[in-house]
Amino acid sequence: DTAVSQTPKYLVTQMGNDKSIKCEQNLGHDTMYWYKQDSKKFLKIMFSYNNKELIINETVPNRFSPKSPDKAHLNLHINSLELGDSAVYFCASSQYGPYEQYFGPGTRLTVT
């Protein structure tokens, strides 16, 4: 059973489009995250939710909007895609507190 799953794994789209990435975890965790890994492999937090409440919102363009319908799901919607949005987006989850974060397989987004 996959602990943290993301769909799709690959996404190729054109500039200006709107796209969504979905994330689900079956670990019973309270907290979920979105990280972005750029072309140089640098990983940076974007958002985190705890029990459907937005807790961390780093300096991310407001074209990015996370949504958590319940604590097992955290989706990422991106409006008006730009070339610089091309990256791998990782979803992660953890128990409340300073515990291991379990990562999904990542979604490679390519904007052309």
Partner 1 sequence: AQTVTQSQPEMSVQEAETVTLSCTYDTSENNYYLFWYKQPPSRQMILVIRQEAYKQQNATENRFSVNFQKAAKSFSLKISDSQLGDTAMYFCAFMKLTQGGSEKLVFGKGTKLTVNP
Query: Considering the rule CB under 8 A, would residue 52 count as an interface residue with partner 1?
Result: no
Query: Considering the rule CB under 8 A, would residue 69 count as an interface residue with partner 1?
Result: no
Query: Considering the rule CB under 8 A, would residue 3 count as an interface residue with partner 1?
Result: no
Q: Which residues contact 54 (CB under 8 A, 6 or more apart)?
A: 47, 48, 66, 68
Phi, psi values for residue 85, rounded to 5°: -80, -10
Query: Considering the rule CB under 8 A, would residue 30 count as an interface residue with partner 1?
Result: yes
Check if the beta carbon of residue 26 is closer than 8 Å to that of residue 1. yes
Interatomic CA distance for residues 21 and 8, integer angstroms: 7
Query: Considering the rule CB under 8 A, would residue 55 count as an interface residue with partner 1?
Result: yes
Using the minimum distance from each CB to partner 1, give the nearer residue, 25 or 94. Answer: 94
Instruction: Give the binding site for partner 1 (CB under 8 A).
Output: 30-31, 33, 35, 40-45, 48-50, 55-56, 58, 88, 90, 92, 94, 96-101, 103, 105-106, 108
